[in-house]
């Protein structure tokens, strides 16, 4: 079974569009997402375009704030502060990576935790690991949603996550654990990675190495979630999974493009609505 992230995303966005119209009626305003981009990195520009398009599609307020590559850290922090204090702004996202002269850690921590739609703020990260109410990071949240929508059972299953980054690997592992999977986190020092992966009923690859996961990594019938985004020499977008080789072995698989990627943006929209509701309900 191919898990069609594009189609699942589309139906979730269609539902959110209706929900947002109803919220506008009820609260007299729409959820508002502000996206900040620094510089002209083509990949960042393309991601941001996708986010703005989804924002418009779902009927949110908000827009793109464009800052030049040489903007000072202080100016960026002042811009974030302004948005933190704007009562009409629900979500703030600063597109990463940032130019070297700006501290990403400082920028992430500067965004108000209640408007941190990416779920990267240390307070949200801590809350996730403490099982407290928090804003979940978009890609991990999207992966769980894909598994649920595809009807893949998580509880009681063995899951292997390859990758231990703070934005993908570790939070995916935590969310799978919270759903009662038994989770192994693999990484670049893992010995005999293929054998470790072959144990998995659910295999999540979040590495950033084209076609690294071959058929010998996959237990027959396993669900394979490919988070990787890589460009081949001829410019083609491919994941971490050798899709053609793994497709006949896997029970379910996400393609690249059209799998996890669209879900990440859709979960960003979901998080914006949740931030809006949290803020409105606090007022009540
Ligand atoms: P990082 O570079 O931060 O982490 C990569 C992880 O892969 C590290 O934990 C590293 O191990 C591990 N790794 C590297 N080489 C190997 C290897 N040979 N064997 C086993 N593990 C290895 O990347 P991210 O987590 O930020 O992103 C991972 C991928 O997901 C990238 O392709 C990125 O573009 C993509 N991505 C996609 C998103 C989407 O929306 N679809 C969103 C975010 C990311 P170690 O810790 O030991 O160094």
- Atom in ligand 1 nearest the alpha carbon of residue 265: 40
What tens digit of pLDDT does each residue of 77-104 get?
999 999 999 999 999 999 999 999 999 9
- Atom in ligand 1 nearest the alpha carbon of residue 208: 32
Band of pLDDT at residue 168, cut at 50, 70 and 90: very high
What tens digit of pLDDT does each residue of 213-256 get?
999 999 999 999 999 999 988 989 999 999 999 999 999 999 99
- Atom in ligand 1 nearest the alpha carbon of residue 207: 7
Of 120, 104, 217, 97, residue with least CA distance to 161 = 217
Q: Is-above-0.95 flag for pTM?
A: yes
Band of pLDDT at residue 284, cut at 50, 70 and 90: confident
CA–centroid distance, 165 to ligand 1, in Å, is: 6
118 in active site: yes
What tens digit of pLDDT does each residue of 227-239 get?
999 998 898 999 9
Between residues 235 and 190, the one the model is more confident about: 190
Pocket-testing residue among 144, 184, 187, ligand 1, by greatest number of atoms within 8 A of Cβ: 187
**Cα diameter, the chain:** 57
Whether 6 contacts 35, CB under 8 Å:
no
CA–centroid distance, 261 to ligand 1, in Å, is: 14
> Which residue CA neighbors atom 32 of ligand 1 most closely?
208
51 in active site: yes
Residues of the chain with pLDDT > 70, as a percent, come to: 100
Interacting residues of 21 by C-beta distance below 8 A, sequence separation 6+: 59
For residue 27, pLDDT over 90 is answered with yes
CA 227: distance to chain centroid? 10
User: How far are the Cα atoms of 220, 230, 272 from residue 162, in angstroms, in the given order?
Assistant: 18, 16, 29
Domains by residue range for the chain, with CATH? 26-113 (3.40.50.10860), 138-260 (3.40.50.720)
Measured distance CA(227)–CA(231) in Å, rounded: 13
User: How far are the Cα atoms of 12, 127, 196, 283 from residue 149, in angstroms, in the given order?
Assistant: 11, 26, 26, 34
Of 284, 283, 271, residue with least CA distance to 31 = 271
Sign of the dihedral through C-alpha 80, 86, 87, 88: negative
CA–centroid distance, 162 to ligand 1, in Å, is: 8
95 in active site: yes
Average pLDDT over residues 166-187: 98
* Tokens found for residue 254: 């996400």
What's residue 91's pLDDT? Answer: 98
> Which residue CA neighbors atom 5 of ligand 1 most closely?
207
Instruction: Please calculate the CA angle 114-116-120 and round it to the nearest 5 degrees.
Output: 125
Q: Give the chain's mean pLDDT.
A: 97
Interacting residues of 261 by C-beta distance below 8 A, sequence separation 6+: 5, 229
Band of pLDDT at residue 283, cut at 50, 70 and 90: confident
Pairing mode, strands 91-94 and 252-253: unpaired
Measured distance CA(273)–CA(77) in Å, rounded: 24
Residues with CB under 6 A from ligand 1: 139, 162-165, 167-169, 186-190, 193, 206-209, 227-230, 260-261, 264
* Tokens found for residue 138: 């978009």
Q: Which of 61, 90, 95, 157 is catalytic?
A: 95
What tens digit of pLDDT does each residue of 34-89 get?
999 999 999 999 999 999 999 999 999 999 999 999 999 999 999 999 999 999 99
For residue 260, pLDDT over 90 is answered with yes
Instruction: Please calculate the CA angle 135-61-132 and round it to the nearest 5 degrees.
Output: 10
Measured distance CA(238)–CA(125) in Å, rounded: 29
Sheet holding 202-205, edge to edge: 182-186, 158-162, 202-205, 223-226, 252-253
> Which residue CA neighbors atom 34 of ligand 1 most closely?
229
What tens digit of pLDDT does each residue of 105-161 get?
999 999 999 999 999 999 999 999 999 999 999 999 999 999 999 999 999 999 999
Of 17, 263, 268, 24, residue with least CA distance to 144 = 263
CA–centroid distance, 140 to ligand 1, in Å, is: 13
Q: E strand or H helix at 248, and its extent?
A: none
């Amino acid at each position: 079974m191919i898990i069609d992230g594009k189609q699942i995303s589309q139906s979730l966005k269609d539902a959110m569009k209706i929900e947002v119209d109803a919220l506008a009626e009820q609260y007299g305003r729409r959820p508002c997402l502000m996206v900040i981009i620094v510089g002209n990195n083509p990949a960042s520009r393309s991601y941001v375009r996708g986010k703005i398009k989804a924002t418009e599609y779902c009927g949110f307020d908000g827009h793109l704030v464009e800052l030049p590559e040489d903007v000072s850290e202080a100016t960026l922090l002042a811009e974030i502060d302004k948005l933190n204090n704007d009562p009409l702004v629900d979500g703030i996202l600063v597109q990463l990576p940032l130019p070297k002269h700006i501290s990403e850690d400082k920028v992430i921590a500067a965004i108000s935790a209640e408007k941190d739609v990416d779920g990267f703020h240390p307070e949200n990260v801590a809350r996730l690991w403490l099982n407290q109410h928090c804003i979940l990071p978009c890609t991990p949240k999207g992966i769980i949603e894909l598994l649920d929508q595809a009807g893949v059972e998580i509880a009681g299953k063995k899951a292997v996550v390859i990758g231990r980054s703070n934005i993908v690997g570790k939070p995916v592992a935590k969310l799978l654990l919270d759903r009662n999977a038994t989770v192994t986190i693999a990484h670049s020092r893992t010995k005999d990675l293929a054998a470790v992966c072959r144990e998995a009923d659910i295999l999540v690859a979040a590495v950033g190495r084209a076609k690294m996961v071959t058929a010998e990594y996959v237990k027959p019938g396993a669900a394979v979630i490919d988070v990787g985004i890589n460009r081949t020499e001829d410019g083609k977008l491919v994941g971490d999974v050798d899709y053609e080789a793994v497709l006949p072995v896997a029970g379910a698989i996400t393609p690249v493009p059209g799998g996890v990627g669209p879900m990440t943006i859709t979960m960003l929209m979901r998080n914006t609505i949740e931030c809006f509701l949290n803020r409105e309900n606090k007022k009540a």
